[in-house]
C-alpha cells in the first residue's frame, strides 16, 4: 500500500541523517599515534564536530594525555593518561582540544602531539538536499541531537505500529 511505502521512505529520510552525523577520526590513519608523524598536517582540512570520535591506536610505551594549551605547548603531561592502545575519545564540546604522548621526548622533539578545533555542529550547515540524498543540517548541539533522536525514534515506533495495525 502506497501510504506505507511513503511512511517507510519518510522514516529513512528522517532517521538516517541523524545516525550519520558522527564521524570517527582515526588519528594518524594507518600510522596511528606515534613519533615522527605530523599531526598538524593530518588534522588540517579535517572538520571535527561535537559528537565525533577520535581513535588513538598505539603500542606501548606510548600513552595519551589530554592537556591544556600550555601542556601542549610545553609538552607537560597532566592528569591520568589513557593507555589502552585503542583509545576512543568522544568530542563532547566545541573548542580547542590538545593531546600529547607523555613518554620522554615524544611530544617535545618527535612530534607526538595533536591539537584540533572542535566545532559545534551548527557551524558548517550543509546545503539543503533533495529528500533522496540522506544529508541534512546537523542539530545545533548535542542536547538537541539527543532530543531529536528520541523524538525520531518515537515517531518511528508510532509509524511501525501504524503499519502493523493497517
Ligand atoms: C607539519 O605540517 C604543517 C602543516 O602542513 C607544517 O606547517 C609544519 O611545518 C609541519 N611540521 C613539521 C615538524 O614538519
Ligand atoms: Cu609516545
Higher pLDDT: 142 or 76? It is 76
Give the residue, by CA position, lying nearest to ligand 1 atom 13: 38
Read off the pLDDT of residues 84-125 as tens digits, 9 standing for 90 and up: 999 999 999 999 999 999 999 999 999 999 999 999 976 455
Cβ(4)–Cβ(166) under 8 Å?
yes
pTM for the whole structure:
0.67
Is 132 part of a structural domain of the chain? no
From ligand 2's centre to the CA of 80, what distance in Å?
15
Is 135 part of a structural domain of the chain? no
Is 20 part of a structural domain of the chain? yes
CA geometry: angle 31, 77, 67, nearest 5 deg? 80
Q: Show the cell assigned to 34.
A: 606515534
Is 84 part of a structural domain of the chain? yes
Is 10 part of a structural domain of the chain? yes
Per the structure, the count of domains in the chain is: 1
Q: Which domain holds residue 149?
A: 2-122+142-165
Q: Is the CB of 59 under 6 A from ligand 1?
A: no
Q: Is the CB of 38 under 6 A from ligand 1?
A: yes
Handedness of CA 155, 53, 20, 133 (dihedral sign): positive
Residue 131 has pLDDT above 60, yes or no: no
The enclosing domain of 40 has a CATH number of: 2.60.40.420
Taking each helix axis as running N to C, give the angle between helix 142-165 and helix 2-19, from 0 to 180 degrees, rounded to the nearest 10: 160
Amino acid at each position: 500500500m502506497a501510504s506505507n511505502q511513503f511512511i517507510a521512505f519518510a522514516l529513512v529520510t528522517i532517521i538516517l541523517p541523524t545516525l550519520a552525523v558522527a564521524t570517527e577520526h582515526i588519528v594518524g590513519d594507518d600510522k596511528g599515534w606515534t613519533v615522527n608523524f605530523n599531526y598538524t598536517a593530518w588534522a588540517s582540512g579535517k572538520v571535527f564536530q561535537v559528537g565525533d570520535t577520535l581513535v588513538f591506536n598505539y603500542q606501548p610505551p606510548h600513552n595519551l594525555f589530554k592537556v591544556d594549551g600550555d601542556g601542549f605547548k610545553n609538552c607537560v603531561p597532566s592528569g591520568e593518561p589513557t593507555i589502552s592502545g585503542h583509545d576512543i575519545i568522544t568530542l563532547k564540546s566545541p573548542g580547542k582540544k590538545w593531546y600529547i604522548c607523555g613518554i620522554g621526548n615524544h611530544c617535545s622533539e618527535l612530534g607526538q602531539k595533536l591539537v584540533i578545533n572542535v566545532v559545534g555542529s551548527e557551524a558548517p550547515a550543509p546545503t539543503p538536499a533533495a529528500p533522496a540524498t540522506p544529508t541534512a543540517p546537523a542539530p545545533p548541539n548535542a542536547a538537541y541531537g539527543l532530543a531529536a533522536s528520541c523524538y525520531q525514534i518515537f515517531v518511528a515506533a508510532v509509524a511501525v505500529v501504524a503499519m502493523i495495525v493497517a
